Amino acid sequence: MAGMSHLRTLVRVLLGSALVFAGLSHLTFARREFSALVPEFVPIDDDTTVVLSGAAEIALGTALVASPWRRTMGWVAAAFFTAVFPGNLSQWRHRRDAFGLDTDRKRLVRLAFQPLLIAAALWSTWRRPAR
């Protein structure tokens, strides 16, 4: 099963790298667009939320790639993807355009990908028990 192990590693590294990239974009060029995803019920201002979530994504992505506690990081990533789902839902519900998601259909397609991110985080950090 070495091939499956390599595939899991590849998916984990790609997911971690994507999180780091997304986190950096929160802090730089896409900061304003990410504000469209902040739900109304978040008790802090949009920009602070974007900055904090960006920092969390950078830390989480780095941990997915480099941490020896991969399984734990997989669960943390799955929880993170679950926690940010309301932002994606809010973008769809309030018809906020961001990241080229300028139709209800595009925003719904994005919502459908969230469970795939959760599954990828868990699957890519799963290790077969030693025999």
pTM, whole model, 2 decimals? 0.89
How many Cβ atoms are within 10 Å of 23's Cβ, its own excluded? 21
pLDDT in tens, 43-90: 999 999 999 999 999 999 999 999 999 999 999 999 999 999 999 999
Measured over the CA atoms of residue 44, residue 63, residue 118 and residue 107, the dihedral's sign is positive
pLDDT in tens, 15-44: 999 999 999 999 999 999 999 889 999 999
pLDDT in tens, 80-106: 999 999 999 999 999 999 888 999 999
pLDDT at 128: 65
